[in-house]
Structure 1
Amino acid sequence: MAEETHSALVNFLSDPATLVGLGVVAAGTAYYLSSRTTPFSPPVPLGNQTSEVPNVFSSEGGERARKSPFQKTDDLMTSFYEDAKTLYQSFQRGKRESKNGPCLGWRVGPDHPYQWLSYQEFGAGLVQLGVETGQDSFVGIYARNSPEWVVTEQSCNYYSRVLVPLYDTLGAEAVAYIINQTCMSVVVCEASKLLPLIKHSGNCPSLRLIITMANSISSEERDAAQQAGLVLHTMADVKVMGRETPVELMPAAVESLATICYTSGTTGNPKGVILTNENMVADASGVLALVESSITIGPEDVHISYLPLAHMMERLVELFLFMNGARVGFFRGDVKELVNDIQALKPTFFVSVPRLLNRVYDKVIAGVSASPIKKWLFQKAMASKRREIERGVIRRDSMWDWIVFSKIQNTLGGRVRIIVTGSAPISAKVMDFLRCAFGCLVLEGYGQTECAAAASGTVPGDIRGGHVGVPLPCNIIKLVDVAEMDYFAENGEGEICFKGPNVFKGYYKDEEKTKEALDSDGWLHSGDIGRWEPNGTLRIVDRKKHIFKLAQGEYIAPEKIENMYITSKYVAQTYVYGDSLKAALVAIVVPDEEVVLKWAKDNRKTETFEDLCQTQAKAIFLESEPFSVDNNGLTPTFKLRRPFLKSKYMATFVQLYSQLPS
């Protein structure tokens, strides 16, 4: 689904008609140029963005830890607001800030406006169905983003229950594993997941209640549930029960467990990341401190929710928006209509991932490169906007916005004032393009599920790309030696480690893996290799995990090599493999079908994409079928399943090695 979402948005943004209206060039040159906005001033000195933490040294031979410029006291931030220290309090604060205004938005069709929701009855209804309150009650949710998803989450916060998201792409086996490990008794699911969940419930003895988001239950569904020994209700039923028999609220405490977020490993069962109310609120507060250093978030702000809520990145974003009374509108679940939903909602806050933004950039560049006039106009516009941004002028009302960029801006509703990206590295040139094209702040975050999503972020106004900014004020960051890769903390390089109130408590019922991630001093080891830049920002330079040694003793980090090759427009995916008995690397490469077919057309070749991939170069294997979640090549978070790919292509690797010089 995520792949289709990316394609739908990319195709719309990169349509030539979306790029430039050349017919307005003559009129545009007469556009009034003097409407300059006040230059934006970065909130901290960009030449010295972090400072060392006194008396905090690595027990493993590393350097001092560094702290955020937004950390105003010696204590790490646990909450941005005094009246929002838990998830429940954060949501209540948002209701007060918005004067109980619009919160969750949805629309029923392309010609309908967004409707908005407020609520409280659902949580009490669960009690009437025998679902216990408190920390021993685990509530599963198996659905795409929707108002019902957040209603379920808030009901857990109202009654101290623990929310356990089930990935839309996890698959039946992993879902059963999670239900059994948590002894889950109730799952809230969307209509499309109901029958599959009932079908596999025989492997989940603790499961006894399913609540469907559908408006009604079919006879087939009711019969299947009865045969499986399950109680089945709609969310509407549960809300009625809550209204008829209210139950006193039992909000969670700061230290109470809030969620178990399962991360999809590249092998084996998923790991359950234990996150408390403090973890999540501290992280959202850290992000808020960074953003609000330059932009105030309030009830007039709107966010489009389409990235999976089953992942912590989207939940973090929505939490810090909710605590400020902002609104969240949901796409309808149809990826082909995502752009239509965005244009109807007109968000001010847009969050995306590098995979999508990179493709948008590539398609736009390909579109303007098709015409010398378009290319010239685009380059002039970029150069002019870049000069303004370097002076601190961020706007979307210049001549070049009117001529070139306004149509791109309007594809996202025309009101976006901040774009946030994370989950993977993004290039400086793409960040530069986004700032120029959308005329807004563009920030990059870095972190992982184990620190509630984010641990660092770029400072507003820092337009130098290639780094992930500064620590959030809720955590400090240090680097530790990775001697086998020649990274040493005394040189400002090493494995990135986090410590603070946003760092998780461990993996659920997995002490061994917890000890691998958290050391005895409470530092979370990320597996990423970082370098402190002269200005105090953090740059990701390598990856510790998945490293292996070649025959000559050289250590290789395959992800670093893979990331280098996918910068080519001809390459969509690549998997690098090395044998410890061999002196060279081999790889499986998935070409970009659209780019390759255009090349074939330009060179008068008539072969299909599959046929072109059969024309193999020596010691290179071209794969026509992309790695995906469906074919087990990717995890639900789009990381390579290395053990699976190794097994699948082992015969190919043997053949490739046979073609190399001995």
Structure 2
Amino acid sequence: MSSAQSLIDSGRPDLVAGRPTSVAHLFQERVALTPGGEAYRYPVPVDEHAADSTPGAEQWRSLTWAQAATRVYAVAAGLLSLGIEAEDRVALASSTRLEWVLADLGNMCAGAATTAVYPSTNADETAFILSDSGSRAMFAENTAQLDKVVAELDRLPALETVVLFDAPDGPPEAGRLKVISFTELERLGAEHLAAHPDAVEKAIAALDKEQLATLIYTSGTTGRPKGVRLVHDCWAYEGRAQEASGLLAADDVQFMWLPLSHVFGKTLISGQIATGHVMALDGRVDRIIHNLPVIRPTVMASAPRIFEKVYNGIAGKARAEGGAKYKIFLWAARTARDHARAVQESRVATGVGTAPAGLRLKHAIADRLVYSKIRAAFGGRLRGAVSGSAALAPEIGYFFVGAGVPILEGYGLSETSAGSCVNRAEDIRVGTVGRPLPGTEVRIAEDGEILLRGPGVMRGYHNLPEKTAEVLESDGWFHTEDIGELSPDGFLRITDRKKDLFKTSGGKYVAPSEVEGKFKAVCPFVSNILVIGNGRNFCTALIGLDEAVIMPWAAEHGMAGSSYAEVTADPRTHELIEGFVRRLNGSLQRWQTVKRFHLLPRDLDVEHGELTPSLKIKRPVVERTYADEVTAMYSGANEA
């Protein structure tokens, strides 16, 4: 290995070193510090009988920290009354909503450990996760989640109780399971506290920092998911590290729509409690655009796919308007990227980020014409949008930074409690994932693999000691299986997944994610792309198009009324995408170029098992599904 590089480079490292035992303790501290401060916002339907109500209307309500504590402690006491004990696993299968946070915090305050389950997970895998974890109880969003476990109940001997967030009117079919509503659990907890006022305080006081707090199962691009064991110290560290880094601040308003079952969303709960800022919760993806101007967040987090879709939507709208408006957009987009690059290069070279006078003038004009409208669509107050879980195409990053919507790309894994590295708003380095959070060390191995060490690193895979030994060294270094490099001033750049790198038959290595990212930057119609070429004499690609962008284009080009599959099979669409592939190839080495491609008859999705719940492509699944199409691209070909 090369020499290790350890960076505690910003903020208050003493906060990290002096962290409390657990997030439950952190929560107690927060409630004591700012009991009347706003903690959470959440949407509720407007009374349909109100005179001024409209169908589907909603309003946002708030909980103060003191109000949140009352509910969290009631949940914790309710679990204790059901016989839940220290480190008992309690599963949580729900979309992102207020009750998810209350349940998770209630689990931790009771001394239990949360088993996170994506609500989109099918019955078979849900049963595997609950069985492997040995979960005794489960919070379920609705009867659809309950039905999954009832269908597989013979595989779940440890499961006793299900708590429903959305309870049906009548008793659901649940076999031997005890089923109660979330409201009933809180009532049981209030009664338990009336009889045992210090029950929750005692449970929190008994917590040990190395006690299991969470089992998060890797979404697994191959095989069964592995349960990642994250202890209380992991989350306490993440909370203090995010605070110390300046990533989150007390006066922030954070819009949380990410799935909290994913480690990326989960870790931000810790940061929010540490800083005490407001978190607005609504996991309905179809409401994001509507919610942004209502919430007016200062901070939000997202997977790159959302930023790509926003960019494609903006570009598509400008293209549809045509003429001068489209030319103005193209000029403004180029100006945004040029300005962002110039400022970044100036900051790296001199420590002061600035751009040449002529470029500043063009940027100011573009701001009035284009960028101000983009910022308004995000609510007008966004100081930072954290991007994680997959690579963001640099050209997309430069565009948004130049438009005044700073995307702070970060890096982490389920095995590191998510937060390991992140760009800071005052020092963005597009194309990197920033510097390590205070207390986290980064090392680049001799083969280029990134190794991480710090309090956020897991304590192992649940029930899989051999798998743990493969990735976790005795001195705490975790092998990420990602390839990267560190700049002299500590910015980490991810170049590819170690297992995704492939070698062509000509002996040249190709990093597919690099090629895929470049294509997303040049083609506004793409949704997903998979570059193939392992052991082949040239590269090909399977491409899924963004339906919301390609269908309007198709209607304008004589394909109105055609289905998505018909549009992607049309020679005119192939010709359109071929033009972008040629642009891509112009920026690549010869052996990286995409010689042939196939447009998929439908986009990749979670439902067909081609994407993980965090929207990573399951490469082996996709290649198996479209094996005939891949074979056809190489059939009779001899291109070098």
TM-score (norm 1): 0.79
Residues in 2 aligned to 1:420 and 1:392: alpha-carbon distance in whole angstroms: 21
Task: Measure how far apart 1:325 and its partner are.
Answer: 1.6
Task: Measure how far apart 1:451 and its partner are.
Answer: 0.8
1:532-552 CA-to-partner distances (Å, cap 9, x unmatched) read 234432212232113344444
Q: Secondary structure at the match of 1:108?
A: strand
Q: Which moved more, 1:558-567 or 1:198-207?
A: 558-567
Q: Secondary structure at the match of 2:626?
A: helix
Residue 465 of structure 1 pairs with residue 442 of structure 2: no
Letter in 1 for 2:304: P
Q: Which moved more, 1:593-602 or 1:454-463?
A: 593-602
Matched-pair contact (CA < 8 Å) for 1:92–1:323: no
- The 3 A distance-change label for structure 1 pair 400 and 171 is same
1:368-403 CA-to-partner distances (Å, cap 9, x unmatched) read 453425643885696698689977699xxx897666
More helix by share: 2
Task: Measure how far apart 1:319 and its partner are.
Answer: 1.2
- The 3 A distance-change label for structure 1 pair 83 and 286 is closer
Residue 647 of structure 1 pairs with residue 598 of structure 2: no
Residue 354 of structure 1 pairs with residue 304 of structure 2: yes
Partner residue, 2:75: 122
Residues in 1 aligned to 2:18 and 2:121: alpha-carbon distance in whole angstroms: 38
- Which of 137, 140, 147 is 1:186 aligned to? 137
Partner residue, 1:237: 184
Residue 105 of structure 1 pairs with residue 34 of structure 2: no
Residues in 1 aligned to 2:145 and 2:327: alpha-carbon distance in whole angstroms: 47
Residue 425 of structure 1 pairs with residue 391 of structure 2: yes
Partner residue, 1:64: 4
- Which of 127, 133, 151 is 1:199 aligned to? 151
Residue 345 of structure 1 pairs with residue 295 of structure 2: yes
Residues in 2 aligned to 1:443 and 1:186: alpha-carbon distance in whole angstroms: 37
Letter in 2 for 1:103: A
- The 3 A distance-change label for structure 1 pair 64 and 604 is same
1:261-307 CA-to-partner distances (Å, cap 9, x unmatched) read 11111121111111111112223322222226xxx711x43222210
- The 3 A distance-change label for structure 1 pair 367 and 393 is farther
Percentage of matched positions with identical amino acids: 27
Matched-pair contact (CA < 8 Å) for 1:78–1:282: no
Number of matched pairs: 570
Residues in 2 aligned to 1:204 and 1:129: alpha-carbon distance in whole angstroms: 18
Partner residue, 1:635: 612
Q: Which moved more, 1:652-661 or 1:380-389?
A: 380-389
Letter in 1 for 2:288: L
1:455-503 CA-to-partner distances (Å, cap 9, x unmatched) read 1112332244211121222211111122xxxxxxxxxxx1111011111
* Greater relative CO (CA pairs within 8 A, separation 6+): 1
Matched-pair contact (CA < 8 Å) for 1:452–1:502: yes
Q: Which runs of 5+ in 1 are unaligned?
A: 1-57, 483-493
- The 3 A distance-change label for structure 1 pair 66 and 323 is closer
Q: Secondary structure at the match of 1:506?
A: coil
Residues in 1 aligned to 2:119 and 2:473: alpha-carbon distance in whole angstroms: 32
- Which of 486, 499, 502 is 2:456 aligned to? 502
Q: Secondary structure at the match of 2:452?
A: strand
Residues in 2 aligned to 1:363 and 1:399: alpha-carbon distance in whole angstroms: 22
CA RMSD of aligned residues (A): 3.1
Partner residue, 2:446: 481
Q: Secondary structure at the match of 2:275?
A: coil
- Which of 202, 215, 219 is 1:260 aligned to? 215
Matched-pair contact (CA < 8 Å) for 1:114–1:344: no
Residues in 2 aligned to 1:355 and 1:341: alpha-carbon distance in whole angstroms: 18
Q: Which runs of 5+ in 2 are unaligned?
A: 46-56, 347-351, 356-363, 575-594
Matched-pair contact (CA < 8 Å) for 2:420–2:437: yes
Letter in 1 for 2:544: V
Partner residue, 2:31: 95
Residues in 2 aligned to 1:414 and 1:460: alpha-carbon distance in whole angstroms: 16
Residue 515 of structure 1 pairs with residue 469 of structure 2: yes
Partner residue, 1:491: none
1:491-533 CA-to-partner distances (Å, cap 9, x unmatched) read xxx1111011111111101112212221343211111111223
1:103-145 CA-to-partner distances (Å, cap 9, x unmatched) read 22212133423232522211111122222x212x100011111
1:404-436 CA-to-partner distances (Å, cap 9, x unmatched) read 444433333333333222222223443333334
Q: Secondary structure at the match of 2:60?
A: coil
Partner residue, 1:364: 314
Q: Which moved more, 1:107-116 or 1:547-556?
A: 547-556
Partner residue, 2:415: 450
Q: Secondary structure at the match of 1:323?
A: helix
Q: Secondary structure at the match of 2:280?
A: strand
Letter in 2 for 1:279: C
Matched-pair contact (CA < 8 Å) for 1:432–1:463: no
Residues in 2 aligned to 1:259 and 1:531: alpha-carbon distance in whole angstroms: 31
Q: Which moved more, 1:414-423 or 1:596-605?
A: 596-605
- The 3 A distance-change label for structure 1 pair 78 and 123 is farther
Partner residue, 1:558: 512
Residues in 2 aligned to 1:400 and 1:584: alpha-carbon distance in whole angstroms: 41
TM-score (norm 2): 0.81
Residues in 2 aligned to 1:429 and 1:644: alpha-carbon distance in whole angstroms: 28
Letter in 2 for 1:343: P
Letter in 1 for 2:134: C
Partner residue, 1:621: 598
Q: Which moved more, 1:648-657 or 1:245-254?
A: 648-657
- The 3 A distance-change label for structure 1 pair 575 and 99 is same
Matched-pair contact (CA < 8 Å) for 2:263–2:414: yes
Matched-pair contact (CA < 8 Å) for 2:79–2:107: no
Residues in 2 aligned to 1:349 and 1:424: alpha-carbon distance in whole angstroms: 19
Task: Measure how far apart 1:565 and its partner are.
Answer: 3.2
1:135-192 CA-to-partner distances (Å, cap 9, x unmatched) read 2x10001111111111111112212111111111221111111111121110011114
Residues in 2 aligned to 1:594 and 1:102: alpha-carbon distance in whole angstroms: 37
Partner residue, 1:165: 116
Q: Secondary structure at the match of 1:214?
A: coil
Residues in 1 aligned to 2:43 and 2:91: alpha-carbon distance in whole angstroms: 25
Matched-pair contact (CA < 8 Å) for 2:89–2:114: yes
Partner residue, 1:316: 267
Q: Secondary structure at the match of 1:444?
A: strand
Q: Secondary structure at the match of 2:163?
A: strand
Q: Secondary structure at the match of 1:496?
A: strand
Matched-pair contact (CA < 8 Å) for 2:408–2:423: yes
Partner residue, 1:301: 252
Matched-pair contact (CA < 8 Å) for 1:290–1:457: no
Q: Secondary structure at the match of 2:186?
A: helix
Residues in 2 aligned to 1:527 and 1:442: alpha-carbon distance in whole angstroms: 25
Partner residue, 2:360: none
Matched-pair contact (CA < 8 Å) for 1:619–1:660: no
- The 3 A distance-change label for structure 1 pair 642 and 378 is closer
Residues in 2 aligned to 1:553 and 1:302: alpha-carbon distance in whole angstroms: 51
Matched-pair contact (CA < 8 Å) for 1:297–1:326: yes
Matches within 5 A, 1:322-337: 322-331=273-282, 333-337=283-287
